[in-house]
Amino acid sequence: MIDESKIRERAYALWEKDACPEGAALFYWRLAQDQLAAELRSSMAVPLMQALEQRKAASLNRYPHSRSFGPAKNLLKDRPAENEDLHKAALLGRS
């Protein structure tokens, strides 16, 4: 939630910058709200992305086998040929 005093200050600054047009108070109020909300979202995005990267790195350190699908690929080679059509149908969403 954005503090109302910050919205008021931003709206007033925007209104003054545009030569103080009459009857546009609501326009500048909403413009200030939008700008402050965008700034808040962008300031929160960086720490969130850093936290996600740290969790991913920690997970990979705990489970090193999750880095590649090497063993799983080899299992697919041993699948019988008669199941090939069923497998393709499942991938295409047909059963």
Does some domain include residue 63? Answer: yes
Structural domain range at position 21: 4-68
Does some domain include residue 76? Answer: no
Site of tokens 């990267």 = 53
Does some domain include residue 18? Answer: yes
Count the domains in the chain.
Answer: 1
Does some domain include residue 48? Answer: yes
Radius of gyration of the chain from its Cα atoms, rounded to whole angstroms: 27
Does some domain include residue 91? Answer: no
Closest CA to 32 of 13, 53, 45, 58: 13
Does some domain include residue 86? Answer: no
Q: pLDDT 10s digit of each residue in the chain, 95 long?
A: 899 999 999 999 999 999 999 999 999 999 999 999 999 988 887 787 888 888 888 777 766 555 555 555 555 555 555 566 666 666 776 55
As a residue count, the chain comes to 95
Does some domain include residue 57? Answer: yes
Does some domain include residue 89? Answer: no
